[in-house]
């Protein structure tokens, strides 16, 4: 699609998933769009890498199906027929004392039925009775006032055992953080309101699960989620969008109804009428503060980093998937450094077919849950590789040796997970309200929308459509 002189110009700063989606919305609305990505790679955490001849997801491997946000986008891109759901299989939980199946009726590990056998198997009869007291306990007014952490909500309603043995392993696997540090409204939007409405945390979780679309909680694409990035880039190119990599924006200025965006060492500049900042939180606030110094107070802490180790094994004994789709690890578990293991060839049928019988793809995740975990997550690739081989053996109860490894890779996502500390949702709302004073300027990204493709895609589309006019 050729641009016409009458087209208003827009700049999207950042070529991650939120930036690509925002660019698509602006192009659809009639803008001549330029995307400026500082790195040499588009898609953010949604990209591919090759290990042992297999093209694999290097970051996000799935999307939540609690809304249709991602599925709708995939349909528009012609990929709806390639949506795939995980093979049947349980998730497991490794605690300091045992490995058990993770209860299946929860949200972030919070059980909808505290007295269910699989809940009692993990936390015990006494702790399950304590958790069930939530069903009868009155809801305190404190629940609706001010900021609250996820840990505080779970501990007050269901007790320490549910928090420590169920919620913490799940949340640390997803967010690389302690539930006591995470804003409940950021990581579980609508949960507090549901507790007030239904009179208990358990019933609130049950209502949220019932409201979710039928079927699997997550989906992916045959061939990997990185195909979403490729499809977006292809469509943007076809629409005439100017997509640039290696273009780090250094200055943002405004004059009347026009913005000037400056990037690269040669200080190339572009005048536009519309700007969307789609970077990480600290970078976004630093740029916005060039227009309004008062915005600097909203600068968030850098997000948590994650190191992912992919192992491709020749290990036919694991064809039976002894730990289902994977294992979450309680942080206090001794001798294991990973916070989660995904048995990708057990989880995704397309990958099992491509890899062939006997070949296993494992993904182990390392995050900064403690000083010990941080040291390991930041270690060199070789150290992480050896840790992954050892952790895979322990978590799957097999003896993996280096002779079994067909290939491996380490991918590091720096600041990948927005650190949604208590009060985060209020800070996001305040930042966006202050930003709204600047006409045709907005910010999108996981640090604002919350973690996960579903949240990022929905927020980027909604914000860009609202302000595209």
Phi, psi of 15 (to 5 degrees): -115, 30
CB atoms within 10 A of CB 317: 13
- Indicate the DSSP class of residue 8: P
258 token code pair? 């026009």
Q: How far is CA 412 from the centre of its chain?
A: 14
400 with 315: CB under 8 angstroms? Answer: yes
Question: What pLDDT, on a 0 to 100 scale, did the predictor assign at position 119?
Answer: 93
Question: What pLDDT does 424 receive?
Answer: 81
Q: Which structure tokens are listed for 225?
A: 């989620």
Give dist(CA 107, CA 275) in Å, integer: 36
CA–CA dist 389, 421 (Å, integer):
33
Integer Cα distance of 346 and 350 in angstroms: 10
In angstroms, the CA 186 to CA 172 distance is 15
Compute CA 72 distance to the chain's CA centroid, rounded to the nearest angstrom: 18
* C-alpha–C-alpha distance, residues 347 and 353, integer Å: 12
Cα 413 to Cα 378: distance, rounded to the nearest angstrom: 11
Calculate ∠ Cα 153-159-161, nearest 5°. 120
What is the DSSP code string of 342-397? EEHHHH-HHHHHHH-TTEEEEEEEEE-SSHHHHHHHTS-HHHHHHHHHHHHHHHHT
> Given the structure tokens 């420590």, which residue do they identify?
164
Per 3-state DSSP, what percentage of the chain is helix, strand, and coil (rounded to 5)?
40, 25, 35
Can you tell me the distance from the alpha carbon of 256 to that of 313, in angstroms, rounded to the nearest whole number? 60
**Run of H or E including 10:** strand 9-13
CATH number at 9-46+224-301+420-467 = 3.50.50.60
The confidence score (pLDDT) of residue 303 equals 66
Q: Which tokens in the block code for residue 135? A: 């069903």
Q: What is the pLDDT of residue 85?
A: 94
Phi, then psi, of 96 in degrees rounded to 5: -60, -25
Q: Which of 435, 443, 433, 437 is nearest to 463 (CA)?
A: 443
For 167, list phi and psi in degrees, rounded to 5: -75, -45
Contacts of 310 (CB under 8 A, 6+ apart): 49, 51, 56, 58, 361, 362, 363, 408, 409, 410, 411
Under DSSP, the state recorded for 340 is: E
Contact 226, 48 (CB under 8 A): yes
Give the single-character DSSP code of 299: P
Q: How far apart are CA 317 and CA 400, in angstroms?
A: 11
The answer as to CATH 3.40.50.11260 being correct for domain 103-211 is no
Domain 304-417 of CATH type 3.40.50.1820: no
Q: pLDDT in tens for each of the 469 residues of the chain?
A: 445 556 899 999 999 999 999 999 999 999 999 999 999 999 999 999 999 999 999 999 999 888 899 999 999 999 999 999 999 888 899 988 889 888 877 888 999 999 999 999 999 999 999 999 999 999 988 888 888 999 999 999 999 999 999 999 888 877 777 899 888 988 888 899 999 999 999 999 999 888 766 566 899 999 999 999 999 999 999 999 999 999 999 999 998 889 999 998 788 999 999 999 999 999 999 999 999 999 999 998 776 678 999 999 999 999 999 999 999 998 888 899 999 999 999 999 999 999 999 999 999 999 866 777 778 888 999 999 999 999 999 999 999 999 999 999 999 987 655 567 788 888 899 999 999 999 999 999 998 998 889 999 999 999 998 654 4
Residue 141: its pLDDT value, please?
A: 83
* Predicted pLDDT at 265: 79
Q: What does residue 345 show for φ and ψ, rounded to 5 degrees?
A: -75, -20
**Rounded Cα gap, residues 166 and 185, in angstroms:** 19
pLDDT, residue 214, reads 59
Q: Which string of b and e fits 72-92 if b means at least 16 CB within 10 Å?
A: ebbeebebeeebbbbbeebbb
Spans of all domains in the chain: 9-46+224-301+420-467, 103-211, 304-417
**Which residues pair with residue 443 across a beta bridge?**
277
């Amino acid at each position: 699609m050729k641009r016409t002189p009458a087209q208003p110009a827009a700049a999207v700063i950042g070529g991650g998933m939120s930036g690509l989606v925002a660019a698509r919305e602006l192009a659809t609305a009639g803008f001549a769009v330029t995307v400026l990505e500082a790195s040499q790679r588009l898609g953010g955490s949604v990209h591919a890498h090759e290990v042992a001849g297999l093209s694999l997801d290097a970051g996000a491997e799935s999307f939540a199906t609690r809304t249709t946000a991602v599925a709708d986008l995939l349909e528009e891109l012609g990929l709806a027929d390639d949506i795939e759901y995980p093979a049947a299989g349980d998730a497991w939980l490794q605690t300091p004392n045992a490995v058990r199946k993770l209860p299946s009726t929860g949200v972030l590990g919070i059980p909808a039925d505290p007295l269910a056998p699989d809940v009692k198997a993990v936390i015990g009869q006494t702790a399950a009775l304590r958790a069930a007291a939530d069903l009868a306990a009155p809801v305190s007014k404190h629940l609706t006032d001010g900021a609250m952490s996820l840990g505080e909500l779970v501990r007050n309603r269901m007790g320490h055992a549910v928090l420590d043995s169920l919620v913490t392993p799940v949340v640390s696997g997803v967010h690389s953080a302690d539930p006591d540090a995470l804003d409940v409204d950021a990581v579980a939007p609508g949960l507090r309101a549901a507790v007030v409405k239904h009179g208990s945390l358990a019933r609130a979780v049950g209502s949220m699960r019932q409201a979710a679309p039928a079927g699997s909680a997550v989906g992916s694409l045959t061939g990997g989620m990185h195909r979403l990035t490729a499809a977006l880039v292809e469509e943007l190119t076809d629409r005439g969008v100017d997509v640039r990599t290696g273009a780090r924006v250094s200055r943002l200025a405004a004059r009347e109804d026009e913005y000037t965006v400056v990037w690269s060492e040669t200080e190339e500049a572009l005048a536009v009428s519309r700007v969307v900042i789609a970077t990480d939180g600290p970078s976004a606030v630093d740029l916005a503060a060039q227009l309004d110094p008062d915005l600097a107070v909203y600068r968030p802490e850098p997000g948590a980093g994650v190191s992912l180790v992919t192992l491709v094994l020749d290990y036919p004994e694991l064809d039976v998937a002894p730990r289902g789709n994977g294992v979450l690890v309680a942080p206090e578990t001794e001798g294991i450094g990973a916070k989660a293991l995904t048995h990708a060839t057990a989880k995704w049928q397309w990958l099992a077919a491509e890899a062939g019988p006997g070949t296993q793809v494992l993904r182990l995740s390392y995050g900064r849950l403690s000083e010990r975990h941080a040291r390991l997550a930041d270690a060199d690739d070789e150290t992480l590789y050896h840790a992954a081989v050892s952790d895979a053996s322990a978590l799957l109860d097999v003896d993996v040796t280096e002779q079994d490894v067909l290939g491996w890779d380490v991918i590091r996502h720096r600041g990948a997970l927005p650190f949604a500390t208590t009060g985060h949702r209020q800070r996001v709302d305040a930042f966006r309200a202050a930003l709204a004073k600047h006409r045709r300027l907005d910010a999108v990204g996981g640090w604002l929308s919350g973690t996960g493709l579903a949240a990022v895609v929905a927020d980027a589309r909604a914000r860009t459509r609202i302000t595209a006019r």
